[in-house]
Amino acid sequence: MTHAAKKFASNAWYVAARAEELGEALLARSIIGLPVVLYRKADGSPCALLDACAHRLYPLSKGFREGDEIRCSYHGFKFDPLGQCTHIPSSEHIPEQAKVRSFPLVERYDMAWIWMGDPELADPSLIPDCHWLNTGNKVFYYVHLQADYQLLIENLLDFSHVPFVHADQQGHPELARVVPETEMAGRTVVSKRLMRGSITPSLWADVMGLRQGQPMDHDQVFIFNAPSSVCIRQKIWASGAEDAAYPFSTSHFMTPDGDGATHYWSWVSLEWNGVSPASLERMDVGAREVAQQDVVALQAQQRTQDQLRRHGERPVIVSVPFDRGSLLSRRAIASLLD
Amino acid sequence: MTHAAKKFASNAWYVAARAEELGEALLARSIIGLPVVLYRKADGSPCALLDACAHRLYPLSKGFREGDEIRCSYHGFKFDPLGQCTHIPSSEHIPEQAKVRSFPLVERYDMAWIWMGDPELADPSLIPDCHWLNTGNKVFYYVHLQADYQLLIENLLDFSHVPFVHADQQGHPELARVVPETEMAGRTVVSKRLMRGSITPSLWADVMGLRQGQPMDHDQVFIFNAPSSVCIRQKIWASGAEDAAYPFSTSHFMTPDGDGATHYWSWVSLEWNGVSPASLERMDVGAREVAQQDVVALQAQQRTQDQLRRHGERPVIVSVPFDRGSLLSRRAIASLLD
Amino acid sequence: MTHAAKKFASNAWYVAARAEELGEALLARSIIGLPVVLYRKADGSPCALLDACAHRLYPLSKGFREGDEIRCSYHGFKFDPLGQCTHIPSSEHIPEQAKVRSFPLVERYDMAWIWMGDPELADPSLIPDCHWLNTGNKVFYYVHLQADYQLLIENLLDFSHVPFVHADQQGHPELARVVPETEMAGRTVVSKRLMRGSITPSLWADVMGLRQGQPMDHDQVFIFNAPSSVCIRQKIWASGAEDAAYPFSTSHFMTPDGDGATHYWSWVSLEWNGVSPASLERMDVGAREVAQQDVVALQAQQRTQDQLRRHGERPVIVSVPFDRGSLLSRRAIASLLD
């Protein structure tokens, strides 16, 4: 047995599904190149197998549940949640090596996290801390993005794009002016910045009940955990009214499907007291519109980069201080690949 | 001139078309990677040329017939049924090497068989014996399958899939229980088995006038001829009534198109006396439904295998006694490739 | 910085756009593999840049104009018409190497000509002479052809295809009979021929007011300029009435997009005195129909050649005297690639 996925870090946790996607039904999903079948056992715990029967590599996700086991619907081989073959209709003898690869799967923060590499190394404490997702008012969106996950990470770590890509809703001038202070520790990159005296954009005005165009302060902490999460803990307030600040977080999880596209799961948590249903609804609409703007931009960027690569054109590219987070994120990912 | 098709045995007969497809019109078809144009001469005999004019590789199938010859519709070069150029509008001199490759083509069993390799070796006695196709009541279907032909061969040589993939119409328990006895001789693999006291499934009940769910006996002989035919000669009867047995055969011919898909021609012959039109009609409907179930399964299997290969994942796969025919079929095909 | 486009001559002028396509708006187009953005400055002069921002290779054509400059719409980097970065919103320092590759672009004959190679070598006098395009009555068409540009060049240099592909409108027997006299000088190939006593085809009868089927004389001069233009200066008259000859030219410009397709710009100039609107209208309809016939033929030829190449089949191909122009055109193109 050889393991694929050299292109992506495999000894790492990736979000494989939103928790509510897992149940009795067999869910098929590509994760860093491999077909995976996911389901939930009778006791509620989730499990994940390579989506390929040990007999003739037929997708197990086309099979059916028998209790906690999966029966392949081609020749009827049956496998338990750890991938061990437990029944072969046409043979009393079950070969010892009749085993489908299984993947550690941990449920946390309303998501199922999968470990695609050596199971011995699958330490749940390596799942990034996103404790703020355990509580509060949240909106959620999922996008299947036709672009590499690193483009998405770099988008999220460099908010100087916001006044351009999301000018209509989230843009304010300081986003492209105040260079974050960035540090790297192990597989984590943290950037912080304080923006003072900017201008309240429409989305935050609507969600927080501020006045669009009025002076506003904005703090951000970006936390990248290699290879695949970017969380941004933020606070906004009308300038001079820090006591009435509105804390919120955006939490982004990106999992390569292995064929050039990316599963992209996102949450926005509104963390102040007394969030109104109208605020949450406005946030939901706004977050989806903003995500769609990023999708359009990143897919265009990917197509351009693909074309240049396909034709051997390698222009010099320049980086600026705002790119420090992105550059460190690449280094953190690269270190996981070694 | 170099010959392609290293990936597939070329010194072998493949079905290129159903006989009734051939006529005055020029038929274009891809066979183990090469474009071929097929037609029938005035005397009724069929012929086949590389579908590429010797001048600028324009498809001859876009040209037009002039008697038994083809006129290319780009610059008007004309070729006889053996591929020799016979006229060039713009030149009185015809270069000696102006010749399109021709392929031996033999009509047998209502099909046209093509030899893609060395014409010197094209011995018609190598066409598999399917004499039962010369007579009797038959239904026919053709499918262009998006899967490798070996997956189809292995499907047809391992009927333990029938209680799973075709449970509704053809499945009965003994199909996955009685291991066939299998022998290989040259490019032929033969498997036999006798199944006793199984349960009559709906399709055979309908076609043969038996009672669904009642005890039934079933004999099968599988004959694989490398590289591309699987015939299954069978007999079914209500248990205890062997005198009133219903003999039938299914004959399957698969030709790779060379780009990952397979031309799949199939016949079901009902070989008892007094087959009613209703039986034949039921068989026709049932055979197409069963074929469609295989198409769905094999295309899913192919996609999974492609994905694993693309990403370098090579799981251990196990074989069981039922796979002996498939494993020998691979060996027979491999020996043709050497 | 490395340059792509080894497959195509880069030190050469290619038509990048029709002049009227260029304006305030940013036009994105692939030229020999590279994404290019084209626009017209306030003073009316056209310019062209690599369509990839020097920061993160985002397509500049998705950005917006600020005067003569382009603002990238991802992070707001701004570039002047020579590709130099002039503003970075998030950084006061502009790195010296923040420069997008620019391409020489010259407007001539109602078209914009681009030089994809070394700008030092971009000598406008290398643009082929097509002075007849400066005056007269013309019709124009553009096609995005799914075939290699060399197939199109060879189509245009060998008019023996006309009685077959365009028999209905332009075909007359002498086109496939009179071998042109062909000479090569540098990057130019010139063929000439005089055809006497042929038969007037429908298109020329309609356009010139001649009688279809009556005797006609026809002179042609083919001028190929490597890598990418074929102009055919012609004259037709009713046999015996050379004084009343109808001069006309067809001018063809083909630019590879780099991914297997070709931008194809064409003009037909009717060069006699007193061309009627009806003649021009008939020419317009006829030219488009003829172009569409070539598109169908060339795309079929390309698919056949692709299939043979993909499967390693390399048939012997023969050339005849009519192919001399084509063979010399290949040599002229090859010499530009060295």
Q: DSSP assignment of B297-331, as one string? A: HHHHHHHHHHHHHHTT-B------GGGHHHHHHHH
What is the C-alpha separation between B195 and B216, in angstroms, rounded?
9
What is the C-alpha separation between C223 and C183, in angstroms, rounded?
10
Mean pLDDT of B99-124: 98
A89·B163 Cβ contact <8 A:
yes
B164·A74 Cβ contact <8 A:
yes
Give SS3 for A231.
Answer: strand
Residues of chain B in contact with residue C320, where contact means CB-CB under 8 angstroms, are: 55, 88, 90-91, 93, 95
What is the C-alpha separation between B52 and B243, in angstroms, rounded?
56
C311·B99 Cβ contact <8 A:
no
**pLDDT of the residue at C185:** 95
Does residue B274 surpass a pLDDT of 90? yes
Pick from C160, C164, C321: CB nearest B73: C164
Does residue C1 surpass a pLDDT of 80? no
Identify the CA nearest to C148 among candidates C56, C254, C20, C39. Answer: C254
Pick from A2, A6, A91: CB nearest B320: A91
A167 touches chain C (CB under 8 A): no
ipTM for the predicted complex: 0.94
What is the C-alpha separation between A331 and C120, in angstroms, rounded?
39
Residues of chain C in contact with residue A297, where contact means CB-CB under 8 angstroms, are: 58, 62, 73-74
- For chain C, positions 267-286, list CB contacts with chain B under 8 A: none
In chain C, which segments carry CATH 3.90.380.10? 131-337
Round the average pLDDT of chain C to a whole number and report it.
96
Q: Closest-CA residue in chain B for C165?
A: B74
Residue type, C9: A
A320·C88 Cβ contact <8 A:
yes
**pLDDT of the residue at A136:** 83
Q: Closest-CA residue in chain B for A56?
A: B317
3-class DSSP string for C141-205:
EEEEECCCHHHHHHHHHCHHHHHHHCCCCCCCHHHHCCCCEEEEECCEEEEEEEEEEEECCHHHH
Contacts 24+ apart (CB under 8 A), C206-213: C206/C279, C206/C282, C206/C286, C207/C246, C207/C270, C207/C279, C207/C282, C207/C283, C207/C286, C208/C236, C208/C246, C208/C279, C209/C279, C210/C236, C210/C238, C211/C238
Residues of chain B in contact with residue C300, where contact means CB-CB under 8 angstroms, are: 58-59, 62
Residue count (chain C): 338
Mean pLDDT of B236-240: 97
B57 touches chain C (CB under 8 A): yes
What is the C-alpha separation between B153 and B229, in angstroms, rounded?
8
**pLDDT of the residue at A6:** 66
Lookup: tokens for C282: 């008939």
C66 touches chain A (CB under 8 A): no
A290 Ramachandran zone, left/alpha/beta (phi>0; psi -120 to 50): alpha
Assign A107 a pLDDT band (cuts: 50, 70, 90).
very high
What is the C-alpha separation between A43 and A147, in angstroms, rounded?
37
Assign A207 a pLDDT band (cuts: 50, 70, 90).
very high
Mean pLDDT of C71-81: 98
What is the C-alpha separation between C86 and C70, in angstroms, rounded?
10
Substitution target from C1, C71, C91 for chain A, most A beta carbons within 10 A = C91
Lookup: tokens for C137: 């009555």
Identify the CA nearest to A156 among candidates A260, A297, A332. Answer: A297
Chains that touch C (3 or more CB pairs under 8 A): A, B
What is the C-alpha separation between B173 and B197, in angstroms, rounded?
10
**pLDDT of the residue at A135:** 87
A330 Ramachandran zone, left/alpha/beta (phi>0; psi -120 to 50): alpha
Round the average pLDDT of chain B to a whole number and report it.
96
What is the C-alpha separation between B21 and B252, in angstroms, rounded?
18
C330 touches chain B (CB under 8 A): no
Q: In what order do the strands lie in the sheet with C137-145?
A: C137-145, C262-270, C246-256, C229-238, C215-225, C188-199, C181-185
**pLDDT of the residue at B135:** 87
Does residue B3 surpass a pLDDT of 70? no
What is the C-alpha separation between C184 and C123, in angstroms, rounded?
21
Q: Render pLDDT for B35-72 as a digit per residue (tens, 0 to 9).
A: 999 999 999 999 999 999 999 999 999 999 999 999 99
A135 touches chain B (CB under 8 A): no
Does residue A4 surpass a pLDDT of 90? no
B3 touches chain C (CB under 8 A): yes
What is the C-alpha separation between B204 and B184, in angstroms, rounded?
30
**pLDDT of the residue at C135:** 87
Q: Render pLDDT for C155-166 as a digit per residue (tens, 0 to 9).
A: 999 999 999 999
Mean pLDDT of A215-232: 98
E strands, C2-53, in order: 13-18, 27-31, 34-40, 46-50
Residue type, C294: D
Residue type, B255: T
Cα distances (angstroms) measured from residue C233 to each of B279, C192, C208, C249, C251: 71, 10, 16, 4, 8
A161·C100 Cβ contact <8 A:
no
Chains that touch B (3 or more CB pairs under 8 A): A, C
Identify the CA nearest to A144 among candidates A254, A304, A57. Answer: A254
Give SS3 for B35.
Answer: strand
Assign B136 a pLDDT band (cuts: 50, 70, 90).
confident
Contact C169, C289 (CB under 8 A): yes
Q: Render pLDDT for A16-59 as a digit per residue (tens, 0 to 9).
A: 999 999 999 999 999 999 999 999 999 999 999 999 999 999 99
Does residue A165 surpass a pLDDT of 80? yes
Pick from A57, A90, A97: CB nearest B320: A90
Residues of chain A in contact with residue C98, where contact means CB-CB under 8 angstroms, are: 318
**pLDDT of the residue at A338:** 75
Query: Which CATH superfamily is C13-126 part of?
Result: Rieske [2Fe-2S] iron-sulphur domain (2.102.10.10)
What is the C-alpha separation between A189 and A227, in angstroms, rounded?
11
Residue type, B307: Q
Does residue B94 surpass a pLDDT of 60? yes
Contact C38, C17 (CB under 8 A): yes
Assign C6 a pLDDT band (cuts: 50, 70, 90).
low
C95·A308 Cβ contact <8 A:
no
Q: How many CB atoms lie within 10 A of CB C134?
A: 10
Contact B91, B78 (CB under 8 A): no
Residue that has been written with the tokens 């990470």 in this structure = A153
Identify the CA nearest to C326 among candidates C131, C148, C113. Answer: C148
DSSP assigned state of A322: G
What is the C-alpha separation between A93 and A144, in angstroms, rounded?
43
Residues of chain A in contact with residue C59, where contact means CB-CB under 8 angstroms, are: 300-301, 303-304
Assign B5 a pLDDT band (cuts: 50, 70, 90).
very low
What is the percent of chain B with per-residue pLDDT over 70, rounded to a whole number? 98
User: Looking at the domain covering A131-337, what would its CATH class be?
Assistant: alpha beta
**pLDDT of the residue at C3:** 45
Mean pLDDT of B175-186: 96
C73 touches chain A (CB under 8 A): yes
Q: In what order do the strands lie in the sheet with B137-145?
A: B137-145, B262-270, B246-256, B229-238, B215-225, B188-199, B181-185
Q: Closest-CA residue in chain B for A5?
A: B311
Does residue A268 surpass a pLDDT of 90? yes
Q: B–C: how many Cβ contacts below 8 A?
A: 107
Query: Which CATH superfamily is A13-124 part of?
Result: Rieske [2Fe-2S] iron-sulphur domain (2.102.10.10)
Lookup: tokens for A119: 């199971």
What is the C-alpha separation between C36 and C103, in angstroms, rounded?
9
B66 touches chain C (CB under 8 A): no
Q: Between C200 and A7, where is the model more confident?
A: C200
A50·B313 Cβ contact <8 A:
yes
A52·B303 Cβ contact <8 A:
no
Residues of chain C in contact with residue A160, where contact means CB-CB under 8 angstroms, are: 75-76, 89-90
DSSP assigned state of B126: G
In chain C, which segments carry CATH 2.102.10.10? 13-126
